[in-house]
Amino acid sequence: MGDPTTDFVAMMTLEPHGPDTFVGMGPRYPWGGLYGGQIVAQALRAAAATVEPQFRVHSLHSYFIRRGDHTEPVRYEVDRVRNGRSFVTRTVTARQATGAILSMSVSFQVDEQAAEVQAADLPDVPAQADLPHDSWTTMFDRANVPTPDLPGRSRGWMKIRGELGDDPVLHACALAYMSDDYPTDAVVSLHPDRPGPDTPPEEHPFMAFSLDHAIWFHRPLRADDWHLTAMVCHGIISSRGLTMGHVFTESGVHVASISQEVLLRRRRPAAG
């Protein structure tokens, strides 16, 4: 087992702490505190640990309540809300010393034989192999798609680093981890006072916080393959920007949809 601060599989290996309770760790991220995608992914992992394997996650809905502290473990408490024949529902509360930091509802379904229709199309963007690769974390690789002429949009290719094996829960958790990256960029790019493309992060005029986060998992996926995330901000009001988007494989299969509301506030001047 690797280090949970640098290895994704190790990060998703939660320690049981009593009935339906699990504990996880994570690194300190460049901006300080914990990354919302980590908390969502670990909460999903905890919920899935209480569900029979024939049930596949199809949606999750999260509220970020407090900022996480990277120096403390996170305790995930799972409530078995409903066990049905086709659907299973769980709620997860993530806690640290200050109290709850995340509340999440998760729904799982047994796959059914039914009509399948894809309406969303892969945007016409450069392939990841034709773009520079960059990332702020050791957990995933990223190839950002520039969108200077498309305010309110953010696009990028992403894949988790390392081999995840064949566990579908681990791949869903990896997508959840990565899915918190691009929504903020879409909100910032729609703001009338958005920074220029060459402005370093420390000089950006805004502070951004994820308020809530939802994912719908449409089809099985391998998060260790490249996927495109394409987000659109649908408006900003009361410092909140709402983004929605799709996740596609390189061949254009629509595997998931994401929605997030981002709180965008101006930085306060430093005390002189």
Instruction: Pick the catalytic residue from 210, 212, 224, 259.
Output: 210
Residue 42: domain span: 1-110
Same domain, 129 and 228: yes
Statement to judge: residues 52 and 185 lie in one domain: no
> Are 216 and 172 in the same domain?
yes
**Active site includes 69?**
no
Amino acid at the residue 171: H
Residue 206 has a pLDDT of: 79
Which of 141, 180, 185, 224 is an active site residue? 180
Per the domain annotation, does 173 fall within a domain? yes
- pLDDT (tens digit per residue) in 177-195: 999 999 999 998 898 877 7
Strand partners, 106: 60, 90
Same domain, 105 and 184: no
pLDDT string in tens for the chain (272-residue length)? 567 777 899 999 999 999 999 999 888 777 677 889 999 999 999 999 999 999 999 999 999 999 888 889 999 999 999 999 999 999 999 999 999 999 999 999 999 999 999 999 999 999 999 999 988 888 999 999 998 888 899 999 999 998 899 999 999 999 999 999 999 999 988 988 777 766 766 677 778 889 999 999 999 999 999 999 999 999 999 999 999 999 999 999 999 999 999 999 887 765 44
Annotated catalytic residue 260: yes
Instruction: Verify that 105 and 148 share a domain, yes or no.
Output: no
Q: Considering the candidates 107, 128, 259, 260, report the single residue annotated as catalytic.
A: 260
Has residue 62 been placed in a domain? Answer: yes
The number of C-alpha atoms within 13 Å of 144 and in the hemisphere containing its C-beta is 14
d(CA 3, CA 196): 37
Q: Are residues 76 and 206 in the same domain?
A: no
Domain presence at residue 115: no
Pair 31, 98 in one domain? yes
The string of pLDDT tens digits covering residues 17-36 is 999 999 998 887 776 778 89
Q: Are residues 69 and 144 in the same domain?
A: no
26 and 69 share one domain: yes
CA–CA gap between residue 151 and residue 28 (Å, rounded): 31
Residue 126: predicted pLDDT = 96
Q: What value does the mean pLDDT of the chain take?
A: 91
Q: What is the CATH number of the domain that holds 70?
A: 3.10.129.10
Judged on CB neighbours under 10 Å (0-12, 13-18, 19+), 143 is: buried
Regarding whether 263 and 133 lie in a shared domain, the answer is yes
| Domain closes at, from 52, 80, 110 | 110
Tell me: do 153 and 265 sit in the same domain: yes
Asked if residue 182 lies in contact with residue 239, where contact means CB atoms within 8 angstroms, the answer is no
259 among known catalytic residues: no
The pTM for the full model equals 0.93
Quick one: 250 and 191 in the same domain? yes
User: Comparing C-alpha atoms, which of 63, 47, 49, 44 is closest to residue 101?
Assistant: 63
Our count of domains for the chain comes to: 2
CA dist 86 and 108 (Å) reads 8
* pLDDT score for 265: 86
pLDDT digits (tens, 9 = 90+) for 77-98: 999 999 999 999 999 999 999 9
